[in-house]
Amino acid sequence: MKIIKTLALGLTVAAATQMTHAADTGFDMQTVDPEADRIALQKYFKSRFPESDIADYVNGIYAVDAGSREQWEELEEFPPYEFDVEQGEELFNTAFANGKGYADCFENGGIGIRQNFPYWSKEEGTVKTLEQEINECRVNNGEEPLKWGKGAIAQISAYMAWTSRDKVFDIKIPADDERAKAAYLDGKKFFYAKRGQLNLSCANCHVQGSNIAIRADLPSPQLGHVTHFPVFRSKWGSLGTLHRRYSGCHKDSRSKPLKPQAEEFRNLEYFQSYMSNGLVANGPGSRK
Amino acid sequence: MRKLTTSLCAAGVLAMFSAAPAVADNHADQIALGKAVYMGKSRGNCISCHAIDDPDANLAGNQGPPTISMKARYPDKSKLRAQVWDASKNNPLTIMPPLGKHWILSEEEIDAVVEYIYQF
Amino acid sequence: MKKGLIIAAALAMAPTLATAASFQEAFESNRAMHGNDHVFEWKGGKYHTNHEEEMEARVKATKANAADLLAKAKAKNAEVAKLGFEWKLTGGILKDAQKAIDEGDYQKALNLAAQAKYHARIGIQQYHYAQKNWHLSVPE
């Protein structure tokens, strides 16, 4: 009985794989079209999971798997990241030795701006992430940079996300700078290319394989991936940044993992965040 | 043809020069190795995607089809071996890792896991 | 011999082998079906299914030979690292190979170096394949 049921599911997977067959545009600098990508991705998930609202994808796997949603909603009633947000607020408001603070480094005093990250910096010719600017703020004011993956940087980021809840993601790819488009394309390519000894792309699990069990885990859909970061993961037992998760995923493909804030990861974040345009910021989040 | 010698699990380089152990013991050992490969997280970890009707298999995933009716699906066992060795040959987009081609498992482990699943 | 008979039978029963377009394809399909140390025919010649690295490990197990293959493996891994496609375990295998040399187990060192070099070579292949085919899984 159980076997037959899983067999039916297996067939669904085969059908789903069919749908992802190649488009013939959008894969080089001449043809890449971020807005078409974003719409195509929404369309893909709409057809995979017709019951789920696009807006709900900020809730990750719980947008498409009713079974685990209930448990998660209970968890969110007493969110495991609450302490981190409080700590983050305190850190955010603690002045540096020179009397300045994080509020001096960001637009609008750093409040309600999470949805604008990452962004393309024309001056520096690179993608800038929120965590990167938190550390730059420190260094520019004579403080030591924080470690990227967890701890204080994740807490500060969590507080900044908290003040931005329900703001709509609006990542821009400036038309007047080809390098921005190139960074987006690079991130897209990173997402879809198979790599590592296990020969896995991000898409293997998070597009085709989303909501299909790998042992007892259900991979989340890529749509809405970034909106809830930083995240408190039960598996970690702590709060972590998006790039901590990227390193972990990269390693899971048995690639030698890149370090957080590597250019490839920032470009990946740029691509993924653009895919979440139109969705709201809801970080920090909690996940299994 | 290829005698599985679990004691020589490294690269099988010496396999052709070594004498074959007694057939019955060898086969039982091979099945046991195959099962360990199927279930082992840092080995084949086949169970993470393929359900199998083995009482020791729990919480199997379903990214791939269940391991069932293998003899009917693969009358030619070497075709099954080839599928385990590199599933991306037939489906370049597959999530299944190329266990042989990427030397994730040794050739002996692949032989063993094929023997193990061929019972189901 | 038994082995020869089975090869003959496999060849007779597998017409796909005859249509294999390139040596590389014939090699891979035979390795996939039969593992290492298997002999197959291709366009009238006889070939074995061993990787070039496995053959490189079949030298006299001396310190010099092991060190030589390890150096080659390291160079290959540096090549794939430059492309951003280095695999996770290769660095550890290279270290284990060095350790085996230090402990005087030269055959073990040769085998490990061969595996690391193979991993690096296939990683390079994977990189080139990805450049051409990454778009195949993008939803349209």
Same structural domain for residues A229 and A94? no
Nearest to B102 among A9, A197, A205 (CB): A197
Chain B interface residues facing chain A, Cβ-Cβ under 8 Å?
47-49, 51, 53, 59-66, 68, 88, 91, 93-95, 97-98, 102-104
What integer pLDDT is reported at residue A180 of this predicted model? 98
| pLDDT at C14 > cutoff 70 | no
- Chain B neighbors of A8, CB-CB under 8 A: none
Residues A220 and A259 in one domain: yes
Does C54 contact B103 at a Cβ distance shorter than 8 Å?
A: no
Alpha-carbon span B89 to B73, nearest angstrom: 17
Q: Which residue of A has its CA nearest to B53?
A: A3
User: Structure tokens of C88?
Assistant: 């996770």
Give the pLDDT confidence score for residue B4 in this predicted structure: 32
Give the pLDDT score at A101. Answer: 97
Put simply, whether A251 touches C (Cβ < 8 Å) is: yes
Q: Which residue has the higher pLDDT, A167 or A26?
A: A167
CA distance B97 to A208: 15
The label of the residue with tokens 């050992």 reads B29
Q: Are residues C124 and C75 in the same domain?
A: yes
If phi over 0 gives left and psi between -120 and 50 gives alpha, with beta otherwise, what is residue B87?
alpha
Question: A157 and A241: one domain?
Answer: no
Q: In this structure, are C82 and C125 located in the same domain?
A: yes
Asked whether the predicted pLDDT for residue A225 surpasses 60, the reply is yes
Q: Number of folded domains in chain A?
A: 2
Q: Give per-residue pLDDT as tens, C23-68.
A: 999 999 999 999 999 999 999 999 999 999 999 999 999 999 999 9
Residue A212 falls inside a structural domain: yes
Judge if A239 and A217 occupy the same domain.
Answer: yes
Shortest distance between the Cα of B22 and any Cα of chain A, in A, equals: 35
Mean of all residue pLDDT scores within chain C: 89
What angle is formed at CA A123 by the lines to CA A121 and CA A126, rounded to 5 degrees? 45
Query: Looking at beta carbons, which residues of chain C come within 8 Å of B2?
Result: 34-35, 37-38
Residue A284, preceding bond cis, omega within 30 degrees? yes
For residues A38 and A186, give the distance between their C-alpha atoms in angstroms, rounded to a whole number: 16
pLDDT band, very low/low/confident/very high, at A159 (cuts 50, 70, 90): very high
Is the pLDDT at B22 greater than 90? The verdict is no
Query: Residue A147 domain-assigned?
Result: yes
What pLDDT score does B23 carry?
57
Residues A61 and A190 in one domain: yes
Give yes or no for residue C94 having a pLDDT over 70. yes
Per-residue pLDDT at A25: 47
**Partner A contacted by C81 (CB < 8 A):** yes
The predicted-structure confidence for A247-278, as pLDDT tens digits, reads as follows 999 999 999 999 999 999 999 999 999 999 99
Residue B100, pLDDT score: 98
| Range of the structural domain that residue A42 is part of | 26-77+173-287
Residue B26 DSSP code = H
C33 with B2: Cβ contact below 8 A: no
Radius of gyration of chain A from Cα atoms?
19
The answer, for A22 touching chain C at a CB cutoff of 8 Å, is yes
Regarding whether A145 and A98 lie in a shared domain, the answer is yes
Residues C75 and C119 in one domain: yes
In a domain? residue A18: no
Q: How far apart, in Å, are the Cα atoms of A12 and each of A6, A19, A49, C103, C106?
A: 10, 11, 12, 53, 50
> What mean pLDDT is predicted for residues B41-57?
96
Greatest extent of chain A over all pairs of C-alpha atoms, in Å? 69
Of B1, B102, B103, Cβ closest to residue C6: B1
Judged by CB atoms closer than 8 Å, whether chains meet at C135 and A254 is answered as no
Would A2 be classed as within a structural domain? no
Q: Chain A within 8 Å of C91 (Cβ-Cβ)?
A: yes
Subunits touching C (CB < 8 Å, at least 3 pairs)?
Answer: A, B
Q: Is residue A17 part of a domain?
A: no
The tally of domains found in chain C comes to 2
Residues A201 and A282 in one domain: yes
| Domain shared by A70 and A92, yes or no | no
Kind of pairing, strands A231-233 and A285-287? parallel
* Structure confidence at residue A5 (pLDDT): 38
Domains of chain B as residue ranges with CATH: 22-117 (1.10.760.10)
Specify whether C32 is located in the same domain as C70: no
A259 touches chain C (CB under 8 A): no
- Same domain for C68 and C44: no
Tell how far CA A241 is from the center of its chain: 9
Q: Residue B60 carries which DSSP code? A: -
For an interface test with A, give the residue of B95, B101, B117, B120 to mutate (most A CBs within 10 A).
B95
Q: Which of C10, C13, C137 is closest, CB to CB, to B93?
A: C137
Q: Same domain for A68 and A87?
A: no
Positions of A marked active-site = 249
Q: C35, B110: Cβ pair inside 8 Å?
A: yes
Residues of C with CB under 8 A from a CB of B: 2-3, 6-7, 10, 13-14, 28-29, 31-38, 54, 57-58, 108, 111, 114-115, 118-119, 122, 133, 136-137
Q: Say whether both A190 and A262 belong to one domain.
A: yes
Both structure tokens of A284: 């920090």
Q: How confident is the model at residue A207 (pLDDT cuts 50, 70, 90)?
A: very high
What percent of chain C is predicted at pLDDT more than 70?
86
Rounded alpha-carbon distances, angstroms, from residue A33 to A175, A271, A273, B11, B79: 11, 11, 15, 48, 42
Report chain A's mean pLDDT, rounded to a whole number.
91
Q: What is the 3-state secondary structure (H, E, C) of chain A?
A: CHHHHHHHHHHHHHHHHHHCCCCCCCCCCCCCCHHHHHHHHHHHHHHHCCCCCHHHHHHHHHHCCHHHHHHHHHHHHCCCCHHHHHHHHHHHHCCCCCCCCHHHCCHHHHCCCHHHCCEEECCCCEEECHHHHHHHHHHHCCCCCCCCCECHHHHHHHHHHHCCCCCECCCCCCCCCHHHHHHHHHHHHHHHCCECCCCECHHHHHHHCCCCCECCECCCCCCCCCCCCCEEECCCCEEECHHHHHHHHHHHCCECCCCCCCHHHHHHHHHHHHHCCCCECCCCEEEC
Shared domain for C73 and C127, answered yes or no, is: yes
Counting DSSP H helices and E strands in chain B, the numbers are 4, 0
- Which of A136, A162, A188 is the endpoint of a domain? A162
Tell the burial category of A67 from Cβ atoms under 10 Å away from its Cβ (0-12, 13-18, 19+): exposed
- Identify the CATH number of the domain in which residue A157 sits: 1.10.760.10
User: What pLDDT score does A10 carry?
Assistant: 40
- Chain B partners within 8 Å of C127 (Cβ): none
Confidence of residue C19 (pLDDT cuts 50, 70, 90): low
DSSP characters for chain C? -HHHHHHHHHHHH-HHHHH--SHHHHHHHHHHHH-SS-EEEETTEEEE---HHHHHT-S---HHHHHHHHHHHHHHHHHHHHTT--BTTHHHHHHHHHHHHHTT-HHHHHHHHHHHHHHHHHHHHHHHHHHHHGGGG---
Q: Which of A162, A182, A211 is the last residue of a domain?
A: A162
Statement to judge: residues A72 and A86 lie in one domain: no
Q: Are residues C40 and C8 in the same domain?
A: yes
Q: Which of C12, C28, C50 is the last residue in one of the domains? A: C50
pLDDT for the residue numbered B18: 41
Least trusted range by pLDDT, from A217-221, B18-22, B52-56? B18-22
State the complex-level ipTM.
Answer: 0.87
| Residue A10 maps to a domain | no
Query: Does residue C73 sit in the same domain as residue C132?
Result: yes
Q: pLDDT tier at C6 (50, 70, 90 boundaries)?
A: very low
pLDDT digits (tens, 9 = 90+) for A35-88: 999 999 999 999 999 999 999 999 999 999 999 999 899 888 999 999 999 999
The per-residue pLDDT for range A109-136, each reduced to its tens digit, is 999 999 999 999 999 999 999 999 999 9
Least trusted range by pLDDT, from A1-10, A279-288, C11-20, C105-114: A1-10
pLDDT of C139 > 80? The answer is: yes
Residues A37 and A95 reside in one and the same domain: no
Domain residue limits at C6: 2-50
